[in-house]
Amino acid sequence: MPQTVVDQRGRVLIPEDIREGTGLEEGTVVKVETQEDGIVIKPIRRSKRSWKELCGLVPKRTGKPEWPTPEEIKNIWR
């Protein structure tokens, strides 16, 4: 079993062979859980997306909708 050290800030270096074997890459978000006999680190996998989302058919809602002003609506009918 490989050994590693916890530094001052609580960081732990996961050995390279374990990272490669589990698919952990830089920037991977992980979940840390405690169990009776130790600590478990699990990568958080992205959820599956539907075909509509993959094809860009589902609009992403960002923020509040911008409603047209009364003047913009009048200009549409002119």
Show me where the domains of the chain are located: 16-77
Is the confidence at residue 72, as pLDDT, over 90?
A: no
Q: How many CB atoms lie within 10 A of CB 27?
A: 5
The CATH architecture annotation of domain 16-77 reads Ribbon (2.10)
Q: Are 27 and 37 in contact (CB under 8 A)?
A: no
If you average pLDDT over residues 67-78, what whole number do you get? 80
Is the confidence at residue 1, as pLDDT, over 80?
A: no
Cβ contacts of 39 within 8 Å, gap of 6 or more:
32, 33
Name the percent of the chain lying above pLDDT 90: 28
What is the tens place of the pLDDT at every residue in 6-30?
999 999 999 999 988 888 888 888 8
Q: Among residues 61, 60, 44, which one has the least CA distance to residue 52?
A: 60
